[in-house]
Structure 1
Amino acid sequence: MKLNLIKIFIIVFFIANFKIISAQNLVPNGSFEKHFKCPSMTASLEDTVIYNWLWDWGSPDYFCSCATNYLIYGSYWVDVPLNYAGFQYARTGECYAGFALNGTNTLCEITENIKVELKQTLIIHKKYCFSAYLSLSDGSTYSIDGIDVYLSNDNSLIPYHINPCTFNISPQISQRGHGVIDDTLNWVKIKGEYISNGSENHLFIGKYSALSINGIKKNNFIPMNFPWWGLASVYYYIDDVALWPCDTTPPQCDAGKDKTICWGDSVLIGTHNYSDYYYQWKEGINSNFNNQYDSGAIWVSPKYTTTYVLETTDFRYEKSYDTVTVDLCNLKAKEYFVCLGDSLLLNNSIQDSLKHLWKSNVFLNSSSIQSPMCTPTTDVAYIHYIMNSSNTVIGQDTILVKVMDCSPARSDTTICLGDDIYLGNSNYTFTSYIWQPLNYLDNNLISNPLARPPKNITYYVIALDSNGVAHQDSVNINVKPCNLPPEIVVPNIFTPNADGINDIFKYKNEEFWQVQTQIFNRWGQLLFDGKNEERWDGTYQGKKVSEGVYFFHITAKAEGFEKLFEYHGSITVIYN
């Protein structure tokens, strides 16, 4: 009871002294994370799907990792990261918006805008800063600099001319003259400043006038083929929209001072509780962030000395980091390691007539025997008390049990088509391994083989430990068509002489492509017509062809992509 009162006092003291600031980003839901429901196939920025955001023209899209309905290329139509417009992770959280800003076509019906009502009306003569992040979609033929930001007390914008689509407004902030945004891999920041006239309470983002000669560029990459786009040739993802008083200094990330506690106690780490902030914590420098909190201050009860890392995303969506170490006082513990799912016998010693008590009593078959069996699922620390017949403690010991993932294979994962992936689990090493199937592996007899599968596949492994016990495991690799894989490379010499080397007309990187191969002689006669994995062996109607020059026509299409590649050339057949 005393401990609970102390903790309650700490909480009350913490709340009373905790610094809380009001919202500084005047754009509500600037990272597009808050929604009424997950988007489906035709989810646009509507007030029945997402909070705060709307549009005047077109039908801009809402993308989120929780998307449902209508699969395309192995993912949902408006999913994150893979969707009908391309591939991109959210810059913050799991969601973002997207809109078409036409390039060569000037009609209003294919120019989209987005808009939002600000949290408060801007103050007259006050300077405001704006920022947002854009990324060009993989399906765009062009890229532009004509991204405009307009602040107004109007709640909608109507063009005064339909073709070309122009508006009788003067955007206060624009990317024009600052370079086209043509990056499909990263998020590009646009920014600007504006001194308010004191009446603006709505923010609009779009393309509100014609482009200059230097304001549009034909992209030099091959766009993903999305025929349903119609005439739209420029499409941008947008995330992390912010507008704030320029004289506001955002508080930096602060995880607090390092602390020391005794085993079994809890401690509050972190100092932030700012609105418009996002917080993530992780244990250890090399681990991953996987939890998002409403507050930058959390209670922790580590079982051993631990360094916590805090990631803070402020109201401008800029990230900063800090660390705090919680040390355990006088913890002289014996450390033991056990594989997840296995059991460990604690205090394996000669039986005595004394009394024994173990705290905590989790994962134990008994907490009152000399040598209990421990089957932990997480790291755990035990204090072992030794008592005489009068229940007087005459000795104690501390034991720390750390749980390891001893699976031979890594966890299931998703990769992009054309990427490599290591299959093994580096946390634990066995004496021998056998991986199956052999397809796309560099070596199936090592602990961590490298795989480059062109399609979804499951690998199985049997690993022997030092005691000769076999451990079986598997890993599922899901392959998505994020980018076009490496093109096939066709050789120019072919030696079908049955020596086991170069006897089949094969191509480098062919495993990533659906291929049709046609071989012709110099008179144009078709000698071979093979599909998919069928390859020419240098024969025609069961007989070897003569040495000389032949001609090939190869068509190739990558899994998940519609674009067809064609290759023409000659191949020389040699037998010696």
Structure 2
Amino acid sequence: MARQSTWLLILALALFCIQANGQNLVPNGSFEQYAQCPQQDNLLSEAVPWYNPSRATPDFYHECFKSGQMALSPHTGQGLAHLFLDRGWSEYMAVPLLKPLEANQCYSFEMYVALETPNKLLPQTLGAYFSTQPVTTTTTELFAVNPQFIESQLTANTPALRWQRVSGSITAKGGEKYVTIGSFFKSPPQLGFYYLFIDDVSLLPVKLDLGRDTTLCGRASTYSLSAKTPGAIDYLWNDGTISPTLLVTKAGTYSVKVTTPCKILYDTISINYSLDFNLGPDTTLCTGQTLTLSVPSSASSTYSWQNGSSLNTFPVSQAGRYTVRVTQANCTVTDSIQVRYTEPPQLDLGQDIELCGAERFTIQPTVAKGQFAWQDLFAEQSRTVTNSGVFRATVRNECATVTDSIVISYGACDCVLYTPDSFTPNGDGSNDTFSAYGCGDISIQSLSVFNRWGELIFTTTTPPFQWDGYVQGVACPTGVYAWHIDYRLSQRNKVTPGQRQGSVYVLH
């Protein structure tokens, strides 16, 4: 009667765990519970509800009694099982599952095995058979059944007396109530073969459940999602995360894809907040500006600001830290914002300017209370201009950004192209070349030089549009030479082509 009461208590506790957590369907899978402390060999039945399904003699050892047969410590806890396999002698261990298996449901099976003599191992013979009825025999021979699980991890090179995890998945036909563990398909070829220890046997349904949609208090609340699934190969969340767990830090819909050896699982969950608000990031205002802080209005909420105000809005007109506490039902959420004030930036590029001829002008910006930058990314703050255009700049600080512009125009007089009347290409460093130049709106396109008979002796279409007084490396004779220049004039968003001819005196 005591043995039956112990088993019923174990069964009740295990069924509660399954309903609460979806846990192991193998009762006493770690061999921790016993009816009576095993003080000799051949007492597997003391590890209730495990039983011996044949005439062989499987063992159950527990640290409640120190036995010399317990050649290593259990994988976990204090108990383990022990099987011996020999010629004509196959020991098995069996147990009723906590509930029948569901048809077409995938399950992950796992156990830990330690071998005393790995070199005698019969590979791919150790396994588990799931059945609707108990499988028993009055002999010590192999069971003539086809197990749904056969391990493939153990080899003759497996270290002796060291726990090894063996695992795999099965798909149930439905109604299986028992599992029998032992060696199948092949008997040892001779006497005096090998022992093996077994611990931590588990059978877990391969299911995915992120839980029900959840509502949290406020944005500071977090929620841990777990997609851990027995035998899972990989995980993929909708945000690209590939770990089995995900920490939720904001409201939204979260989904996960879990790949297992037998099928792909999907699940989705929505996370919301009862008090979904914040006052925003710390901010800086310009002197004289105001700001109205607000939180969502609700008849079921109460509000408390740092000065005791109970409204859902608060006007800000001076620097400081502002805090609100909102309470709704059992939720209380607090948020703060730091407000600073600073003077607005200042910028003045000066009055628009009209230039004449080849005049140059340097813009000297007046800047205060901020960081200056030209919009065309010119590096220096002051800049000298030689062409018409609109030049814009900004000054910014935490308070604001201001922009100013200045118009430079060469429309005050004609934009003139200048050329020298003579030059002396004698290499003394003074007036050695014929060079043309003009106001910044003129862009020279080509320069050509002709002798007194109208023959072309020099031409170029690339800057710097200069002639050194030589032709094919030979100095030209002293005299008058004609030149021709093609150019473009760009003013007031209009480009006008132009030409100019003249003469220059070369003096050697």
Give TM class, smaller chain.
Answer: 0.3 to 0.5
Relative to the length of structure 2, the TM-score reads: 0.35
Q: Which has the larger radius of gyration?
A: 2
Q: TM-score, normalised by structure 1?
A: 0.31
User: Which structure: greater strand fraction?
Assistant: 2
